[in-house]
Amino acid sequence: MPQTILSVRAVTKSFGNLLALDAISIDVEERKVSILVGPNGSGKTTLINVISGLYEPDTGKVIYQGKDVSGLPPYKLYSMGVARTFQIPALFWRLTVLENLLVAEKGNPGESFLKAFDIVGLKSWQNFFRPWRDTSSGWMLIRGLKSVKAKFRVKKPAKMLDPRRIASFAIYFLGASMKPWIDFFTPAWEDREKHATRKAARILRLLGLSRVWNQPAYSLSGGQMKLVEIGRALMTDAKLLLLDEPVSGVNPTLAHEIFARILRLRDELGLTFFIVEHRLDIALKYVDHMFAMSLGRVIASGSPDVVLNDQRVIESYLGG
């Protein structure tokens, strides 16, 4: 029996006198591609904003994997495995495709000043002896030791704290004299960076972006930008991806490719997709379940054939 990964229970959201969401209740099944449709102004984007933590619901609950996450900010949902993309891609335009994915990796020790100095291992012992054979490094070490000796010769303690003496010590002993030994140790962030790069390379292959990995984001086509956004979401190890119109403005050929890759991600990685989309001519053949909204309410749900033949759905689109 399919498990429910996301439940929305009687969620209401108003903006002044405008009731955008009117007691919305839906269940999204795990490892399925679910789509949310409806005419403009029906409340689709508002609902996805509430689920992703951009808006806090006025009433009701959002439940993710059995936990009440109503009103949690996006960064907390991100750490729990919920990621989203936007209708207009929000990339780092001057970074490459690979770099855009790498910045989404969470828990990198290099993000913390103290953890950046964590050591997880040692490299070749040959690297340890190399600095002793380096004449310039030897002189740096001697100068550093002389600066320490000079500090302890000072009789007045106040002069020991003289900024120039401290700077001399830092430059010659802690700084330059230790530099040659850096290659001897393996910092924690280095292993994590290698792991993140391998992970990003795999995601780029899954998304068909391997050939553009080194191109800046601003040079991509609209469809490729959408795929990069999906790739960044995958870098977070998300289990639930909320996609806001992933094929909006994309040519039909690439739009079909995007949805085909979404199915591949569902099957290979066991992901769940909840998608807002207008282009039903493209999306319908790829979705497992459909929800239809109108005027802030869910008016139908089920298989695409059932929902599209619902009289209320037909009337909401045609204005009958």
3 state SS of 182: helix
Query: What pLDDT is attached to residue 243?
Result: 92
β-pair type (119-122, 185-187): antiparallel
What are the two backbone dihedrals, phi and then psi, of residue 247, each rounded to the nearest 5 degrees? -115, 20
Name the β-bridge partners of 242.
Answer: 84, 274
Q: How many Å is the Cα radius of gyration of the chain? A: 28
Q: What residue has token string 């790069």?
A: 197
Nearest to 250 by CA among 284, 209, 286, 278: 278
Residue 127 corresponds to which tokens in the numbers above?
A: 């690297």
- Concatenating the DSSP letter of every residue in 263-279 gives HHHHHHH--EEEEE-S-
Architecture of the domain delimited by 4-93+237-318? 3-Layer(aba) Sandwich (3.40)
Q: How far apart are CA 59 and CA 228, in angstroms?
A: 34
* C-alpha atoms less than 13 angstroms from C-alpha of 202 in its C-beta half-sphere: 12
Q: Are 171 and 164 in contact (CB under 8 A)?
A: no
Distances (CA, A) of 262 to 18, 185, 259: 34, 41, 5
Domain ranges of the chain: 4-93+237-318, 121-186
| 3-state DSSP helix/strand/coil % of the chain, to nearest 5 | 50, 20, 30
Query: What pLDDT is attached to residue 214?
Result: 92
What are the two backbone dihedrals, phi and then psi, of residue 120, each rounded to the nearest 5 degrees? -110, -5
Q: How far apart are CA 122 and CA 171, in angstroms?
A: 25
Nearest to 255 by CA among 224, 220, 209: 224
Query: What pLDDT is attached to residue 222?
Result: 87
3 state SS of 26: strand
In this prediction the pTM is: 0.75
Query: What pLDDT is attached to residue 194?
Result: 83
Nearest to 276 by CA among 287, 265, 260, 268: 287
Q: How far apart are CA 256 and CA 263, in angstroms?
A: 11
Query: What pLDDT is attached to residue 250?
Result: 86
Q: How far apart are CA 174 and CA 178, in angstroms?
A: 6
Instruction: Per residue of the chain (320 residues), give pLDDT as tens.
Output: 678 999 999 999 999 999 999 999 999 999 999 999 998 888 999 999 999 999 999 999 999 999 999 989 998 998 899 999 888 888 999 999 999 999 888 776 666 666 655 665 555 555 555 555 555 555 555 565 565 555 555 555 555 566 766 666 565 555 544 555 555 566 666 777 888 899 999 999 989 899 999 999 999 988 899 999 999 989 988 999 999 998 888 888 989 999 999 999 999 889 999 999 988 889 999 999 999 999 999 999 999 999 988 898 888 876 64
